[in-house]
Amino acid sequence: MTPFVLPCCYLAPISHYARLAHGGDCLLEVCDSYQKQTLRNRCRIASADGSLALTIPVEKPLPGQNRMRDIRISDHGRWRHVHWNALKSAYQNSPFFEYYADELAPFYEQKWEFLADFNEELMHLMCCWLDISPAIKRTASFIGAETPLYTNKEYYQVFRQKLGFLPDLSIVDLIFNMGPESILYL
């Protein structure tokens, strides 16, 4: 079976994990040209005011080093502190945040040099929480990532009565709201 290719995203959307949950080998595209304002350094969560984008600041790439695997994380703006507080604020009242928070917090306490390393380790943690074990390897040369097909099924969200259902948010939205039942949704 031919492996499928996914972009290397920060707390990727539910659609990516729906694809991972259906099996097969996955190649994580890290040889593509880094593009600003994409899910590579941005995720969307549900806050009390609606969809909130959390963006990891990155250093300007050196000439000839603009592939995803070469992108370095910047410590500009205390982003780790901001992201962790946003996640806590958005999900502290969700049914399962407290259950998972201690495993996620260290990602926002330590410094990471490369964005691809940070994203990949988060992906492994999310797969562990979902109890899926896809074979994930990095691309050695540019292949091009797929856009996963995704059926928008609704699930419980903390702010749903106020905001309506917000589709295809970061996988943490599904996990913090549905816990171990997340895999059944996928």
The Cα–Cα gap between 173 and 142 comes to 30
Q: State the pLDDT at residue 65.
A: 81
DSSP 71: P
**Cβ distance 172 to 157 under 8 Å?**
no
Amino acid at 33: S
Q: How confident is the model at residue 150 (pLDDT cuts 50, 70, 90)?
A: confident
Domain ranges of the chain: 4-185
Q: Answer whether residue 1 shows pLDDT above 80.
A: no
Q: How confident is the model at residue 149 (pLDDT cuts 50, 70, 90)?
A: confident
Q: Answer whether residue 93 shows pLDDT above 80.
A: yes
Q: How confident is the model at residue 153 (pLDDT cuts 50, 70, 90)?
A: very high
Mean pLDDT of 64-92: 95
Q: Which residue has the tokens 């609606």?
A: 50
Q: How confident is the model at residue 61 (pLDDT cuts 50, 70, 90)?
A: confident
Q: How confident is the model at residue 116 (pLDDT cuts 50, 70, 90)?
A: very high
